[in-house]
Amino acid sequence: MTDTLPAVTFNRVMLKISGEALMGDQGFGLHPPTVQRIAREVKSVHDLGVEICMVIGGGNIFRGLQGSAQGMERTTADYMGMLATVMNALAMQSALEELDIHTRVISAITMNEVAEPYIRRRAVRHLEKKRVCIFAAGTGNPYFTTDTAATLRANEMACEAIFKGTKVDGVYDKDPAKFDDAKRYDTVSYDDVLQKRLGVMDASAIALARDNNLPIIVFSLDEPGGFRGILAGEGTYTRVQG
């Protein structure tokens, strides 16, 4: 008797995670066991036949806004942050390929020795061939966050949803780490996220998702099997929608 795979709710998705998610319990940099754990989560979804693209932030290595706040010229600081996202993407590619998942790192800044340049049709073809695509270097422009890059690429790739992996199992009306009476939303509108400043993603990313009616699923990346469970119609999460 063979195990049947669960029916999935989405066929192509964008997974957005922060650079800090790769730090583990460290205060800086990459924690290889954490990178490998997240890679196993991605593999569990890939095994369902879901086409996956990813955007990973760079805050575990360098954050452009912090550099700017310390006196560095903003454009230069943002480009340094983009390079940090390429380092994280290469680490995730290595972890996924150890699990026999064919992976492509696609950079918005040309660096042919380590990553492919971003060409939309080629990236779509990779997804159709069931390769995981990791989009690095943000949009290639300063002043735009990796949240905006993830929403932009998700729209370009015709993804059916953005999965935003965080440390909590959804969107709350206030910080659940500080307030015991924090309430989790099952669903919340794009406009409420903006008006109440719920901190799901930055305003330009939320507005871009709203304008293209792209749902955002906020879930806990620390919950083992959470990513796969939600795609199979289970688990705890918040859906941001129109």
Bind-site residues for ATP: 16-19, 59, 63, 166, 172, 175
CB 105 within 8 A of CB 99: no
Q: Residues comprising the binding site?
A: 16-19, 58-59, 63, 78, 139-146, 166, 172, 175
Residue at 236: amino acid letter: T
In the block, residue with structure tokens 């709203």: 210
Contacts of 225 (CB under 8 A, 6+ apart): 41, 44
Q: Residues comprising the binding site for UMP?
A: 58, 78, 139-146
CB 54 within 8 A of CB 132: yes
**Separation between Cα atoms, residue 140 and residue 153, nearest integer Å:** 12
Provide the pairing of β-strand 184-185 with 161-166.
unpaired
CB 150 within 8 A of CB 162: yes
